Structure formats: structure tokens, C-alpha cells
């Protein structure tokens, strides 16, 4: 079963691909929240413990929801899977009530308005934050934010959260002079529209994925296109897929150096130097020619991470075995021979990684030509669901993947039968994705590797928050599948 805590970890540690600089910019709002949450969680678990005097032996027993738990791991697992909403509510109550915490929260917001992580389950906390945001705004900030908030007075809460829903994926490379104002505006806009997801703002543009009702996403798109910074955007720039606000644990809006973390200063490798864009039909023709001619003149380059291309990719593509996009430049540097004098056709999920990825490839001056798929696989599959892209499209939210055709191109790691449904490793301290089929899961094979599988059976001793962090790091490093993976694998082969 997926646990909320795991998803938060997965999101922050693996999927956000934030570089260290970006990580440092994460506001302490979330730290305050998660510190309180840890305390509330521990108190909740403790409240379920039977007093020692009632037991004959020295063992501990917890009672919750009519079940008996005899080890800390099982009561922790139960609490995080069955009581996370209560924990959320209690944490927010406690944040409101504890003056010192609130002061700290407010103080930190005033100090650096960098990243908001708002729990959409808790309107109280959101309103509290919104107020503190408004209080600390300068006049020009307030103008920059409020001038571009649409009038929602005629729209009821029910209209905003009810009815059909969807998930939007979008980006826009565009010089932004005051990213922090755009950040505040996005935070307020998404909050008012009850959208959840992730939005990255930088001087080089904006990148986001948000989910909510179709009524809300329509208003959001309109507000985006009316904003002076994003007037170049069209409705076509918003890729839509089936989903909702529930695909995301919360709303995170932040200011970063790069809107997609390649780890290179945007002033050195700029989106303005990107490769030529091809419409899906043009890209389709290019791939067709490449497959028909087989003359080795063209390289079809997937610039996503290995776990994304594993479950879906273009036929005859080159799929680097990289864990993060920030390893892409190094991959290129170490494999220049693959691109020498070639025409390179690049693609990624929605097109954003190809923008500066292609600029980087071009900067090496080895390719004959660098072309990129406009709108990414997302737009391609809308037009060619049965084209040259086979398998699923990986997405960075709780859906994990989108299906446009019925092909399954990956296999269960345990038995080898076709399987492409990712789940989180069952070891509570691991956040790797694992492909384990239903029959194998029924046999208990639910971890990403043997070490994690063995950890499942071990009793996890509760410890202090600080040593928890250390324990987490220590156990992460023990994970075979991470350790055995080179940053940039030396052996790269053309996959079929």
C-alpha cells in the first residue's frame, strides 16, 4: 500500500530532481510543519500504547482501530496509512495554537518567500499563510500579485472542487524580472482555485503541473495567458490528462535557479540556444525515415531518466541510464562519439527538458543538427497513440504513468513477465520505484532489492527525529539498486 510519507519522500528526494542550491531555498515553512507533524505522529502512536502494567511480559502492545500491533513498525505503518488525515488536522491545529510556532512560521515567511508547501486538506493553515503573505507584501508586490488574480466572486467552492477534473502540464521559457512576485501570484492563484501540484518559477520562466476541477483549470489557463509575462502561451501549451488535485499530496510553488534542474547556469546554457522544434507530425516523419533507412545517420535521443524510458519509449531510441536530468550534460560529455556528425532527434515528456538539453548538446558542436519534439511525448501521443512511441508515459505524480496504447514494454524484476505498473518499494525507508507484478507481490516480493526485502522483516526501533534522519540516510546508502548504479554508466547501448 502506498503511504503518504513515502510519497512525500519520493517526491522530495527523487522526483523533484532539485539540485543542492535549490534544496537550500526550500522555505522553513515546511520544516516547521514537518517537525510538528513528527511530534503529533509520535504522540498519536504513544496514545495507542497499552500501559506496561497491563502486560505480563516486557513486550509492547498498541491497540488501534480494533487491531493489535506488537511491533513499532506495524503501528507506524498503520498510523500513516489509516490516520494521515487526522494527523494532518491535528498538526494544523497545533500550528495554529502554538504561538511560538506561528510566530516562527510568520517570521520565516517574511524573511524569505521562497517555497510554499500547503496542505490542501487544511484550509485553516492555507488561510493563515495567505494572510501572512499578504501582510508581508510590499505595495508593488501586492499590485503584481493581485492585479492578475481573476474575479472569482460569482463562483462557489462547490463549482471549484466538484465536477470533472484534470491535470495540466505546462512550461514557458520567458525572461522573468521578478520571479518571487510570480511565485506569490501562483501561490495565491492556485490556492484560490483549489489546485494542487508543483510550480517552479525562475528568471528563465515557469514550469508546472497542477490538478483540479476543469472549471478551476480553465480559469487558471485563462489567468496565465492574460498575465503579461506569459502572453506568448497558448492553450496548446497546456497538456491535459485525466487526473485531479488528488494526484498531488499538496501545493508547492517555489523560486529556483532553473525551471528544470539541469545543474547548469541558465546564463551559460540558455533556452534561447535550443534546437529546432518539430511538430509531432514532422517528428513522426523523421522517425519513420530513420527506421526505414537504417543508415545510422540519425540518433533518436530520449533525454528522460532511466525509470521513465524503461516503461515507454520511441522505437530504436537511445535511452541514457541516468537517474536525474542533472546527469544529462555529463552523459553527453562522456558519449560525444555517439553524436558526432549525426542528426539528433530529441524528446522528453512535455518538451521542457529538451529545450536546454538540446542547447547543451548543440554547445558541444559535434552534431550535424539537433531537433526537438515540440510538446514532447504528451503531444505526440495525442496525435499518434499508435505511432512509434510504445508503452506508458511516466508522470511525476501519484499516477506514475499515463496509457495511450496497450503495449507493455517492461517486465517484473522478480519473474520477468510483462509488467509496467510502478509501486514504491515496501521498505519504509526506501523511495525507489519497483516493478513487481501482482503474483510476485502476493508472494511478498514487494521491495526494490534484496536488502530492502530483508529490511521489511526487521523491527524498526523508534528513535529521536535527528537520529531518524541519520538512520534514513544510512539505510538509503545500503540500498543495492542505488549503489550499483553508476552516476553515468560507462556502457551505453542502442536499445531496440
The set of catalytic residues is 348
- Compute how many other C-beta atoms are within 10 angstroms of the C-beta atom of residue 489: 16
The nearer residue to Zn ion, 78 or 342, going by C-beta atoms, is: 78
User: At a CB cut-off of 8 Å and minimum separation 6, what does 143 contact?
Assistant: none
The nearer residue to Zn ion, 370 or 440, going by C-beta atoms, is: 440
**Hey, what's the cell of 118?**
500547503
Q: 3-state DSSP helix/strand/coil percent for the chain, to nearest 5?
A: 45, 15, 40
Kindly give the residue spans of alpha helices, DSSP state H, lying in 147-210: 157-161, 179-192
Strand partners, 448: none
Nearest-approach distance from CB 411 to Zn ion, in angstroms = 8
Nearest-approach distance from CB 80 to Zn ion, in angstroms = 10
The nearer residue to Zn ion, 253 or 424, going by C-beta atoms, is: 424
Nearest-approach distance from CB 111 to Zn ion, in angstroms = 37
Residue that the C-alpha cell 495507542 belongs to: 48
What is the rounded distance in angstroms from the CA atom of residue 358 to the CA atom of residue 352? 10
The contact set with Zn ion (CB under 5 A) reads: 64-65, 82, 412, 414-415, 425, 427, 430, 432, 437, 440, 447-449, 452, 479, 481
How many helices (H) and strands (E) are present in the chain, helices listed first? 21, 18
What is the rounded distance in angstroms from the CA atom of residue 239 to the CA atom of residue 393? 13
The nearer residue to Zn ion, 366 or 445, going by C-beta atoms, is: 445
- Cα→Cα distances 304→90, 327, 394, 474, 493, Å: 39, 10, 10, 28, 16
User: At a CB cut-off of 8 Å and minimum separation 6, what does 81 contact?
Assistant: 1, 3, 4
The nearer residue to Zn ion, 364 or 421, going by C-beta atoms, is: 421
**Hey, what's the cell of 44?**
498519536
The nearer residue to Zn ion, 299 or 449, going by C-beta atoms, is: 449
User: At a CB cut-off of 8 Å and minimum separation 6, what does 80 contact?
Assistant: 3, 4, 5, 41, 87
What is the rounded distance in angstroms from the CA atom of residue 296 to the CA atom of residue 102? 62
Nearest-approach distance from CB 65 to Zn ion, in angstroms = 3
Nearest-approach distance from CB 486 to Zn ion, in angstroms = 16
**Hey, what's the cell of 446?**
514487494
The nearer residue to Zn ion, 342 or 485, going by C-beta atoms, is: 485
Nearest-approach distance from CB 55 to Zn ion, in angstroms = 20
- 3-state SS assignment for residue 218: helix
Beta strand extents in 325-483 (DSSP E only): 343-347, 369-373, 389-391, 393-394, 401-402, 423-424, 433-434
**Hey, what's the cell of 130?**
495567505
Centroid of chain to Cα 28: 20
Nearest-approach distance from CB 477 to Zn ion, in angstroms = 11
Residue that the C-alpha cell 516562527 belongs to: 104
The nearer residue to Zn ion, 169 or 449, going by C-beta atoms, is: 449
**Hey, what's the cell of 129?**
499563510
Residue that the C-alpha cell 541558465 belongs to: 266
DSSP string, 101-124: HHHHHHHHHHH---EEEE-TT-HH
Nearest-approach distance from CB 481 to Zn ion, in angstroms = 4
Centroid of chain to Cα 452: 23
Amino acid at each position: 500500500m502506498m503511504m503518504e510519507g513515502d510519497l512525500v519522500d519520493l517526491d522530495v528526494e527523487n522526483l523533484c530532481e532539485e539540485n543542492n542550491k535549490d534544496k537550500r531555498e526550500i522555505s522553513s515553512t515546511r520544516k516547521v510543519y514537518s517537525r510538528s507533524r513528527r511530534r503529533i505522529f509520535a504522540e498519536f502512536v504513544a496514545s495507542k500504547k497499552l500501559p506496561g502494567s497491563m502486560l505480563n511480559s516486557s513486550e509492547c502492545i498498541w491497540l488501534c482501530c480494533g487491531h493489535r500491533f506488537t511491533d513499532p513498525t506495524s503501528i507506524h505503518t498503520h498510523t500513516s496509512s489509516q490516520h494521515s488525515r487526522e494527523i494532518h488536522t491535528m498538526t494544523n491545529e497545533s500550528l495554529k495554537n502554538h504561538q511560538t510556532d506561528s510566530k516562527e512560521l510568520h517570521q520565516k515567511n517574511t524573511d524569505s518567500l521562497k517555497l510554499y508547501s500547503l496542505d490542501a486538506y487544511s484550509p485553516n493553515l492555507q488561510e493563515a499563510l495567505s494572510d501572512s503573505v499578504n501582510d508581508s507584501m510590499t505595495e508593488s508586490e501586492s499590485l503584481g500579485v493581485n492585479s492578475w488574480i481573476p474575479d472569482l466572486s460569482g463562483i462557489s467552492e462547490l463549482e471549484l472542487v466538484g465536477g470533472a477534473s484534470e491535470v495540466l502540464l505546462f512550461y514557458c521559457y520567458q525572461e522573468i524580472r521578478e520571479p518571487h512576485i510570480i511565485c506569490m501570484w501562483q501561490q495565491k492563484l492556485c490556492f484560490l482555485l483549489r489546485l494542487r501540484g508543483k510550480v517552479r518559477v525562475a528568471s528563465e520562466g515557469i514550469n508546472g503541473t497542477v490538478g483540479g476541477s476543469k472549471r478551476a483549470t480553465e480559469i487558471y489557463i485563462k489567468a496565465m495567458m492574460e498575465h503579461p509575462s506569459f502572453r506568448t502561451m497558448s492553450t496548446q501549451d497546456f497538456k491535459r490528462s485525466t487526473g485531479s488535485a488528488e494526484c498531488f499530496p499538496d501545493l508547492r510553488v517555489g523560486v529556483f535557479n532553473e525551471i528544470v534542474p539541469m545543474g547548469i547556469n541558465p546564463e551559460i546554457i540558455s533556452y534561447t540556444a535550443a534546437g529546432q522544434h518539430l511538430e509531432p507530425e514532422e517528428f513522426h516523419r523523421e522517425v519513420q525515415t530513420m527506421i526505414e533507412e537504417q543508415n545510422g545517420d540519425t540518433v533518436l535521443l530520449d533525454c528522460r531518466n532511466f525509470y521513465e524510458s524503461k516503461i515507454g519509449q520511441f522505437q530504436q531510441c537511445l535511452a541514457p541510464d541516468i537517474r536525474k536530468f542533472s546527469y544529462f550534460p555529463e552523459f553527453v560529455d562522456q558519449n560525444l562519439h555517439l553524436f558526432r556528425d549525426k542528426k539528433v532527434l530529441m524528446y522528453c515528456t512535455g518538451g521542457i527538458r529538451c529545450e536546454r538539453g538540446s542547447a547543451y548538446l548543440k554547445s558541444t558542436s559535434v552534431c550535424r543538427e539537433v531537433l526537438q519534439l515540440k510538446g514532447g511525448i504528451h503531444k505526440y501521443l495525442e496525435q499518434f497513440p499508435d505511432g512509434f512511441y510504445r508503452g506508458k508515459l511516466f508522470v511525476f505524480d501519484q499516477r506514475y504513468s499515463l496509457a495511450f496504447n496497450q503495449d507493455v514494454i517492461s517486465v517484473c524484476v522478480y519473474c520477468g513477465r510483462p509488467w509496467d505498473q510502478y509501486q514504491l518499494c515496501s521498505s519504509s525507508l526506501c523511495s525507489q520505484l519497483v516493478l513487481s507484478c501482482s503474483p510476485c507481490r502476493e508472494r511478498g516480493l514487494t521491495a526494490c532489492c534484496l536488502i530492502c526485502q530483508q529490511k521489511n522483516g526487521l523491527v524498526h526501533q523508534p528513535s529521536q527525529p535527528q537520529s531518524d534522519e541519520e538512520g534514513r540516510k544510512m539505510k538509503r546508502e545500503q540500498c543495492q539498486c542505488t549503489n550499483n548504479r553508476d552516476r553515468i554508466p560507462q556502457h551505453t547501448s542502442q536499445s531496440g
